[in-house]
Chains A and B, each alone.
Chain A
Amino acid sequence: MHDDELTPAEREAFAALPRESLASDLLEERTVRALAARGWIHPQRRIRAAAVWTGAAAACLLFFVVGFSLGQKRSVRPETLFPAGAETQESGTPAGTSMQGTAMERVSSKEEGSSVAMDTSGSLALGHPELQTKARTQVVVWF
């Protein structure tokens, strides 16, 4: 066997050696930073994407908070104002007065249209059933 020639077995052994090997992810980041520092690549796109995602998350949060507070403000519903059986309840009774009073307190801080409706409904509790249907309609329309 000539010293300068590889045997088939040796060729096979060399051919079986791996040609690729994975380096650490840190090396990729290091290389990207080195190129960016020289101004040869621009990593702005990732910054923009991050800004977009942050903005979207903030917008979602803001939307949720605003929606939640609006929902809290409008949580007084007609069912609360006119619970079942309230119409048949005798006006002037403590329970009826309490219910109407609570509704009045809640609604008094609302907008004017709502207050008008409650004023009207308040008079129902004082014994004007003919206005009851009209007042309920006003409240429902407002909501």
Chain B
Amino acid sequence: MTLQHGMPASDRELAEVILRAGSERAFRELYRRHSPRLFQLARRLLGGDVHAAEDAVQETWIRAIGGLGSFRWESQFSSWLLGIGIHVCHDALRKRRGDREDPWDDTAQHPSPDRAPGERIGERVDLERAITLLPDGYRTVLVLHDVEGMAHEAIAARLDISVGTSKSQLHRARRALRAQLVPSGEIGTSRGR
């Protein structure tokens, strides 16, 4: 979608058209611009569950368009949208777990991640696969910090946890991930797809 000046419409211009006229075309443009990133993040946070990730993307857009009028454009639209997406995924994980466990409990002993039938102990696994095998709390912080590049303060604010909890979760997550990737204790690379 382009405006009169011939340049592609900015996120803000599209959002204004959506708010003013309820333009489906403007929404589709905005959707196609940001959904690939949102979908990948949701899929990672939700442990590779594609259907849950799709539900999360839809719910994120519903919340975003519903709250578009209150967005002050002091940050990038993509950051705001991903923030909503993180909340949605966090809610989905909480619903999935129920009240059985606290994902941020540092004293909890998480069982060894499930392995696929073809995978053996000691076998090197793909980084993406290793991330999906992490417990929810570990995976959430690791994805937000090491993959998305968020600071602990921002993660703590998004997930409503303390900065200390975020740091300890990351520490444990990396340790678990290394155990997955290099069981022998060697440090090496394992590229994602």
Cα distance A35–B147 when bound, in Å? 31
B189 and A32: CB pair below 8 A?
A: no
**Given known contacts A32-B27, A40-B66, A42-B22, is B187 in contact with A1 (CB within 8 Å)?**
yes
A16 and B25: CB pair below 8 A?
A: no
**Given known contacts A6-B174, A9-B187, A13-B191, is B57 in contact with A27 (CB within 8 Å)?**
yes
B40 and A21: CB pair below 8 A?
A: yes
Kindly state the interface size class of chain A when it binds its partner. 35 or more
In the assembled complex, which residues on chain B have CB atoms less than 8 Å from the CB atom of A111?
none
Expressed in whole angstroms, the minimum distance between the Cβ of B88 and any Cβ of chain A is: 13
**Given known contacts A20-B40, A41-B24, A42-B21, is B174 in contact with A4 (CB within 8 Å)?**
yes
Q: What does the 1/0 interface line of B151-193 toward A look like (CB < 8 Å)?
A: 0000000000000000100110011000000000001111111
Cα distance A14–B32 when bound, in Å? 25
Contact of B191 among A3, A16, A36, A38 (CB under 8 A): A16
Contact of A41 among B23, B39, B43, B188 (CB under 8 A): B23
A38 and B146: CB pair below 8 A?
A: no
Cα distance A96–B32 when bound, in Å? 76
In the assembled complex, which residues on chain B have CB atoms less than 8 Å from the CB atom of A43?
24
In the assembled complex, which residues on chain B have CB atoms less than 8 Å from the CB atom of A21?
36, 39-40, 43
Expressed in whole angstroms, the minimum distance between the Cβ of A125 and any Cβ of chain B is: 69
Expressed in whole angstroms, the minimum distance between the Cβ of B57 and any Cβ of chain A is: 6
A71 at the interface (CB under 8 A from B): no
B36 and A20: CB pair below 8 A?
A: yes
Interface residues of B in 48-97 (CB under 8 A from A): 53-54, 57-58, 61-62, 65-66
B189 and A22: CB pair below 8 A?
A: no
A23 at the interface (CB under 8 A from B): yes
A12 at the interface (CB under 8 A from B): yes
A72 at the interface (CB under 8 A from B): no
In the assembled complex, which residues on chain B have CB atoms less than 8 Å from the CB atom of A18?
40, 192-193
Residue of A nearest to B190 (CB): A13
A40 and B190: CB pair below 8 A?
A: no
Expressed in whole angstroms, the minimum distance between the Cβ of A106 and any Cβ of chain B is: 56
In the assembled complex, which residues on chain A have CB atoms less than 8 Å from the CB atom of B53?
23
B128 at the interface (CB under 8 A from A): yes
In the assembled complex, which residues on chain B have CB atoms less than 8 Å from the CB atom of A36?
24
A17 at the interface (CB under 8 A from B): yes
| Residues of chain B whose beta carbon lies under 8 Å from any beta carbon of chain A | 18, 21-25, 27-28, 31-32, 35-37, 39-40, 43, 53-54, 57-58, 61-62, 65-66, 127-128, 146-147, 167, 170-171, 174-175, 187-193
Sorted from nearest, which 3 A-B pairs have the closest CB atoms? A20-B36, A17-B192, A42-B22
